[in-house]
Amino acid sequence: MSATISSAIEPLIKRKVFANEEEAIRALLRDYLLAEIARRRREVKRFERTYGMDFQQFSAYLHERSALLSKGDLTPEQRQALGQAIMQEEDDWLDWKVAQEMLESWLGLRQEVVA
């Protein structure tokens, strides 16, 4: 174990917060993983509340709106407004996708670390 990690954990062991370095590292790692999982779940839930659907449904919705933009009988003003809305939704889609993938990654890591 590196000297930096040992010196960072040493006060916790001296104060009997943890019995030893291994216990400290496991507990701190577990807490960190759980915090990241909770953070990503909040991000995903925020998008679900905003759009009233899950990611798969939102992907289909966005695809339909993009098709409407290219094939729909819209006035120039409607086309511009829809185009701007779709651009924002595409930004949200990408952020949502990243949050979803990171959540899955943290959940997988939790299975490896906790097991």
Specify the higher pLDDT residue, 13 or 6: 13
Residue 24 has pLDDT above 60, yes or no: yes
Q: Are the CB atoms for 77 and 84 separated by under 8 Å?
A: no
pLDDT at 73: 87
pLDDT tens-place string over residues 80-114: 999 999 999 999 999 999 999 999 999 999 888 76
Non-local CB neighbours of 17 within 8 Å, separated by 6+ positions:
24
Confidence of residue 1 (pLDDT cuts 50, 70, 90): low
Residue 52 has pLDDT above 60, yes or no: yes
Q: Are the CB atoms for 103 and 38 separated by under 8 Å?
A: no
Q: Where are the domains of the chain?
A: 3-114
pTM for this prediction? 0.80
Instruction: Tell me how many degrees the CA angle 61-64-65 measures, rounded to the nearest 5.
Output: 90
Task: Please give the Cα distance from 112 to 97 (Å, whole number).
Answer: 23
Please name the helix (run of DSSP H) or strand (run of DSSP E) that holds residue 33, with its range, or none: helix 21-51
Task: Please give the Cα distance from 112 to 39 (Å, whole number).
Answer: 19
